[in-house]
Structure 1
């Protein structure tokens, strides 16, 4: 045995510690680095610049309902891939990949519970599932949420986040616009409020339908809200658009929103709105 081997063997073996790759979160707005745990405990809001990051349905339910206690509502069954659509991949393959990544069946989920002691049915659109795109499953889930709210005699609160209609379902996805509009009318006929909270981003056919039909329109700070993209609009009208165009603060200043609410204040704000809009239910 050479002297090199003797020295190497004499050195005590130390197990190499693996450093988690996701230990930090970099804010896309200010670039600040924050411990991921701190970022998540702050409801995915940057502690430096208050940028509101996107969150999924499960976390939204946990933060909105009292103590996170809620009952998920089953997703309605719909026909999948009705057009047998294919681009670079089949639609069936894209659905399978999205379900594997998100753990959910589609982009819209409902749950019922209480918000500061007041009953509510909450629907959440998850941008992580194919950009929150609106298709048959989203339309059916929205209608199911309205029906659950009517059965519970509770308000229906929807958090929107979408890139628009789902192109793989063609005109069938556009049919969800009038379908959800009719469902909202049924909610009104039952004397129940419909509250919308728009999150980043809410665009396309979702904005052109149920996202803009709330009795009260709320949005999170800095949320992108619009129908067509800013570049498309500028190229069409051949004019430069104002700074902050299509952001929630700009829309609030121009009368398209009622409130812009920080995520930490949303639960309290929603509870207050329910008390105003359903006073007899709150008193009971």
Structure 2
């Protein structure tokens, strides 16, 4: 025991031991162990410069990186029941919703926006994994459906950035019903002959993978993204076989035909813009 612990009053002791710097000032790369300054990581679209590891990206940050000038129109969403089953385990589901809203600044796990991408109108929906693991509940399903309907009404491509742990168990059957609802909405977009581009980010699993996330005209994945329905351990226990290395990762799925492209985040904007232009048959701009 030193003299601070013995003599200095607790209130002053706590002041002396208080950290002068924020806890998240530096971020450690899970792959390489490299320490990256948080501001540098944010400026690099949350990609570690040395290893290329892609951290999860929030919905608003994703919009800012994709829309021209970082500006967009947020599409208003119809209200849904916040807690249809009055679900409770260790904590009330309604309390979890309030906590997630306070932490993310979002009403639910999917945000829908309308704006321009390289001068062309586009409708976009983004899952935010920070909101209860980007899970699919009534509000998230309503957001995806509204985004698809907006694309049809405004005659734009629809781009979805998926990141989800799957259906939201606290909403039971109400959550599962969002799977057929969103599939029907995708069919309406297809009937209108408008492009649907899906970007699969880490992780995209469960009911989201089993419905609208795998119905795109083009499927892009970010490097190293985990993509699948059931987890690897569950599959191994079911088939009683050891799965290959990299199973369910973006590169493996591309090599086996489930994903069309694996695109680094820095190239995502240009890639999506080019695909939208081709699918909408927009004439190439003349060189100056």
- So what's the TM-score if we normalise by structure 2? 0.91
What per-residue deviation string (whole Å, max 9, x for no partner) do you get for residues 118-167 of structure 1? 11001000000000000100110011101111121100000000000000
Equivalent in the alignment of 2:199: 197
Q: Within 2, Cα distance between the matches of 1:281 and 1:213?
A: 26
What per-residue deviation string (whole Å, max 9, x for no partner) do you get for residues 223-278 of structure 1? 00000000111111111100000000000000001100000001100111011100
Equivalent in the alignment of 1:86: 88
CA shift at 1:75, angstroms?
2.5
Q: Within 2, Cα distance between the matches of 1:275 and 1:91?
A: 43
Change in 2 beyond 3 A, CA 1:17/1:209: closer
Q: Within 2, Cα distance between the matches of 1:275 and 1:211?
A: 21
Equivalent in the alignment of 1:141: 143
Equivalent in the alignment of 1:49: 51
CA shift at 1:57, angstroms?
0.7
Aligned length: 268
Equivalent in the alignment of 1:112: 114
The reply on whether 1:217 has 2:222 as its aligned counterpart is no
* Structure 2, gaps ≥5 residues long: 1-17
Q: Within 2, Cα distance between the matches of 1:19 and 1:272?
A: 43
Q: Within 2, Cα distance between the matches of 1:114 and 1:183?
A: 22
What per-residue deviation string (whole Å, max 9, x for no partner) do you get for residues 67-117 of structure 1? 112111112200121111111111111111111111111000000111111
Q: Within 2, Cα distance between the matches of 1:111 and 1:19?
A: 35
The reply on whether 1:73 has 2:75 as its aligned counterpart is yes
Equivalent in the alignment of 2:281: 279
What per-residue deviation string (whole Å, max 9, x for no partner) do you get for residues 16-73 of structure 1? 9922322211112211101111111000001111010001111000000111121111
Kindly report structure 1 stretches of 4+ aligned residues shifted beyond 3 Å.
Answer: 280-283
* Structure 1, gaps ≥5 residues long: 1-15
Q: Give runs of aligned pairs for residues 248-267 of structure 1, distance below 5 A.
A: 248-267=250-269
2:170 to 165, 168, 171: 168
Query: Which structure is larger by alpha-carbon Rg, 1 or 2?
Result: 1
State the Cα RMSD in Å: 1.4
Asked if 2 retains the 8 angstrom alpha-carbon contact of 1:118 and 1:282, the reply is no
Q: Within 2, Cα distance between the matches of 1:76 and 1:161?
A: 22
1:246 to 242, 245, 248: 248
CA shift at 1:280, angstroms?
4.6
